[in-house]
Structure 1
């Protein structure tokens, strides 16, 4: 993806906390599954050019979505993490249908790469 030396933070929260963040920062009511806060754009982008930003994931929502989709929690968590990271590097599925397709393709590529990795023990 072109960010070999970059950093990001991952924050895992519950529905109450992500709902608070969703309303405070995005002006949306209620919990969501993932929120990304980019440090590559805006007033402070030049403070640390190697910092991509933050990915916040609601464990409650991820668990609920995993159950609904009948998939392992770890698989849903990985999907949300990849989705959040893609937002940090400039992908935006809401911009256009073409961007959504591009983001979906990159997401599938990254998830396939993760699936091929050896587990850490």
Structure 2
């Protein structure tokens, strides 16, 4: 199985065109290659600030909107298999094994940030997508060293795709 991007649009602020999806697919392939990931699926959902605010409050206990949320499946799937799914010997979970996780991007916040930083909306959404993907792989930015590592990886992928500031 190759790396796949499944996406869903749950907002009406911007039109999500094939050119943006193609760009995100390119970024996914480049980021995955840099990390040695050859297979899996990433689920991406575009939302507005109201929806991401609800998710941020519910899952992170932070009562405000944010730009991107990531929900990795690498740890949760095995636990869920034991609790929810009673599989027969040799039976597979039917695709959940391959799901790396979900990325949710608020296009409303992405649009505001692109204006604030003086670059294109596509560059901002691309940055948020790569950022979310790295979180799915276990990267974090809780301290200066891990933030610098994550930022370096993000910028390298974006530069390779021609999305510079």
Please classify the TM superposition score into its range, dividing by the shorter chain length.
0.7 to 0.9
**Is structure 2 residue 161 aligned with structure 1 residue 114?**
yes
1:91-106 correspondence to structure 2 within 5 Å:
91-94=139-142, 96-106=143-153
Map of 1:8 onto structure 2: 42
For the 8 Å contact 1:39–1:45, the answer to whether it is kept is: no
1:37 is paired with a residue whose SS is strand
Aligned: 1:56 with 2:104: yes
The Cα offsets for residues 26-46 of structure 1, whole Å up to 9 and x where unpaired, read as 110111000000001132388
Structure showing greater Rg: 2
Structure 2 CA distance for aligned equivalents of residues 15 and 111 of structure 1: 24
Q: Deviations over 1:31-79 (max 9, x none)?
A: 1000000001132388533211000000000001111111111111101
Kindly report the root-mean-square deviation, in angstroms, between the aligned alpha carbons of the 2 structures.
Answer: 1.7
In structure 1, runs of 5+ residues without a counterpart are 117-121
Query: For residues 63-112 of structure 1, what are the alpha-carbon distances to aligned partners after superposition, in whole Å with 9 as ceiling and x for unaligned?
Result: 01111111111111101001000100111011x32211111111111112
Q: How many residues align?
A: 115
Provide the residue aligned with 1:77 in structure 2: 125
Distance apart, 1:113 and its partner CA: 2.0
TM (norm. structure 2) is 0.65
Partners of 1:36 and 1:58 in 2: CA distance: 12
Decide which of 80, 86, 92 is 1:44's aligned counterpart.
Answer: 80
**Aligned-partner SS, 1:11:** strand
Higher relative contact order (CA 8 A, sep 6+): 2
TM-score, scaled to structure 1: 0.87
